[in-house]
Chain A
């Protein structure tokens, strides 16, 4: 074989080195919108100091919005983009991670109120045959079981093949029905027998809602966003759209070594791919608008709201989930709402019924993979909870 391997080797080497890797950030600018953040709020100083502590603990940016008897208070610390040190502001758009599950559940409950869906009917009644066939036990799983995570369907986003594909092809858009290929042929447990949180439940709810409404995202905009005046909320986002450069950049600690990598393209693509279980970006104020509207009965009736708070418990007997609402204890106090996480975000949207406080917090650092940064940050977050429940 008379091939000149040496020359070939050097040509290839040259080709590889000349191509530079493009940065994976998105353009973001300081917002021009100015808004009173109520600096006289009695908790303002304490919360601001704790948010600054989080930033010192290597959280790139943190934003918080609260609404209680003293009014609205909003604040942001740190950066929306580290590359050019764009300061984070309350008017920047945040990725909500899983919080949209509460939005999706609200859509389903509105459809139930309209008599378009039976919560106790099997999901095979609403899904097209080709999708229904892919879901093990679809004849036994009811709509309600999807809503409260008792379906027993296997999760898609902890399947190695999915994770590898997501990381390997950060710009690939998934269609909602594609996630069904990762759930396997056997259920994890008998339908309705116990609680186990699964993202796939809410993907299926979005597919069901599409069958009933034509387009569940349009229905959500029409019946929730518009009546509540949520003009800074975007669902089923367009990949790469920075929404007038207001979308935050996001970061993650890929190697768990305190070094943060810009994950904006990855998270943006991932969020653009999600339906039902994720997929919303909005301002903190809009997140509060939604939860406040829901709790105050502006979207669904009081009776429906009560149904959404019929809790299922985990194996230890702790209340975990209703129909879209997650139950948690914030420094020992009951909180209802939802948390969200992703490869570049971590956020919480909760209501403290006892104190009548609405809370939204978000950081632009991924919470789904472990990082030493969280060791200290978790202590600070606990201090924030203590202030909020005071």
Chain B
């Protein structure tokens, strides 16, 4: 766990040190508040589409630009999802996103990065200690994950507070789920918006 936070902090503060010192770029403001609604699933992409929308989650995050523009950013997100079937989870991630302009104010998005999943048990769980069974509901398992995703968004810069909505499909390859299934694909369908606050 400690290792994870060190890596997360490293990513947060080292990917683009210049952004902390720079002035506002012409069409992007660093550190928007990103809030999102998520649908989590343990499944392969596009298989059994209906189940992709059963398990809802929420996310909060921010991002910083790599080149002073909206089309090349580093994202930092924390997502909490609820999944009765396989257990709830909290997913921390940092991803590099490339957003090519498509049409008008619309843009595509391709992203990839590194994440860490804290997974809970979906039901009552137990562990034996000194011959006695005790509840272990609060025990969580931490697993590294590689998130990759595609998406679409709307971005129209405004000098005052403005929002830029987006939708994306994220697949996470979670490592070390258990000894029999070492790599498990999980998916998140994300709908959300970045709130770019007016700078005072």
Contact = CB atoms under 8 A, between A and B. Distances in A.
Interface of A: 1, 3, 5-6, 9, 12-13, 16, 19, 21-25, 56, 58, 60, 79, 82-83, 85, 160-161, 163-165, 167-170, 251, 253-263, 265, 368-371
Contacts of A263: 123
A82 B129 CA distance: 13
Given A160-B44, A168-B86, A369 B181 contact: yes
A85 B133 contact: yes
A262 B125 contact: yes
A21 B47 contact: no
Interface of B: 35, 37, 41-44, 47-48, 51, 54, 56-58, 60, 80, 82, 84-88, 119, 121-128, 131, 133, 136, 139, 141, 162-163, 165, 177-181, 185, 193, 195
Contacts of A261: 121-125
B124 A25 contact: yes
A161 B141 contact: no
Given A21-B84, A82-B133, A168-B51, A257 B163 contact: no
A164 B44 contact: yes
The prevalent SS among residues of A at the interface is loop
Contact of A25 (B86, B123, B128): B123
Question: Which 7 A-B pairs rank lowest in CB-CB distance, beginning with the nearest?
Answer: A370-B179, A24-B123, A256-B178, A256-B179, A369-B180, A164-B43, A255-B141
Contacts, number: 121
A9 B48 contact: no
B41 A255 contact: no
Nearest to A164: B43
B41 to A, nearest CB: 6
A259 B51 contact: no
Nearest to B136: A259
Given A82-B133, A168-B41, A259 B127 contact: yes
15 contacts: A1-B162, A9-B60, A19-B82, A79-B133, A83-B124, A85-B133, A161-B44, A161-B47, A161-B48, A254-B121, A255-B177, A255-B178, A256-B178, A259-B121, A369-B180
Contacts of B141: 255, 257
B43 A21 contact: no
Contacts of A82: 126, 133
Contacts of B43: 161, 164-165, 168
Contacts of A253: 178
B127 A164 contact: no
A12 B37 CA distance: 9
Contacts of B123: 21, 23-25, 261-263, 265
A262 B87 CA distance: 12
A82 B124 CA distance: 10
A296 B141 CA distance: 51
